[in-house]
Amino acid sequence: MDDLEQAKTILETTLLTAQEPLPVAELCKVFDGEIGADTVRRLLEDLRASWQGKGVELVSVSSGWRFQAKPEFQRYLDRLNPQKPPKYSRAVLETLAIIAYRQPVTRGDIEDIRGVSVSPGVLKALEGRGWIDVVGHREVPGRPALYSTTRAFLDDLGLRSLDELPSLDDLGSLVEAAEQPSLDIVTSEAGQELRVGSAAASPGEEGQAEGLHTQESSPVIG
């Protein structure tokens, strides 16, 4: 294809109508081999620059490229479809943080770090949200499942890879931007304990806090 401006318009139209992020390999299919991956990447960067200053931006996340509303405009969009943000228990958030920063980990690893047992419902809640998945089994007696975060987890936080994960102190604001839960994740001085809120959950609190509690789920834009 000789007309690169037309190619840029085709990319723009494809991404604006896509339901999910699209990787470069998929976008190349639109041109049926007439344009290579390097050219597509360059056009995507040009397209991203052309949308600067608008309420919608083109971003690159783990699964590919997508258009999304800028965070500062989300409150206006919420007025069209008002929903209460999901509320995550402390047990769920602690477990997510441990998996994100220590992956792959087993349920036993998580329990060793938290110091309390982990209900199967906590892991199922995160699997149901699409943020974690079983990626294998540890070769020890019982072959416990190994859990890691997914591309959907990175997509929802607007990240391209695990290398872009923020410090634990900053993870809370990222998750709030995606789902708006109340989250404050910190580490102990030794850097071994991961906890949410003002104190780690005690065995007595686990039963009250475990699980994923949502009232109405609010999807991530894009």
CATH number of 87-213: 1.10.10.10
| Residue 70, SS3 per DSSP | coil
87-88/212-213 β-pairing:
antiparallel
Q: What is the pLDDT of residue 56?
A: 95
Q: Which positions of the chain have pLDDT values less than 70?
A: 1-2, 85-86, 169-222
Cβ atoms of 136 and 114 within 8 Å: the answer is no
Distance between terminal CA atoms of the chain?
28
Q: What is the pLDDT of residue 176?
A: 58
With respect to CATH, is domain 4-78 assigned 3.40.50.2300? no
* Domain range list for the chain: 4-78, 87-213
Sign of CA dihedral 220, 199, 148, 25: positive
Q: What is the pLDDT of residue 175?
A: 60
pTM of the model: 0.62
pLDDT tens digit sequence for 157-209: 888 898 888 777 666 556 655 654 333 333 333 333 333 333 333 333 343 33
In angstroms, the CA 125 to CA 177 distance is 20
Tallying the residues shown for the chain, one arrives at 222
> What letter represents residue 11's amino acid?
L
Domains 4-78 and 87-213 equal at CATH topology level: yes
Q: What is the pLDDT of residue 82?
A: 79
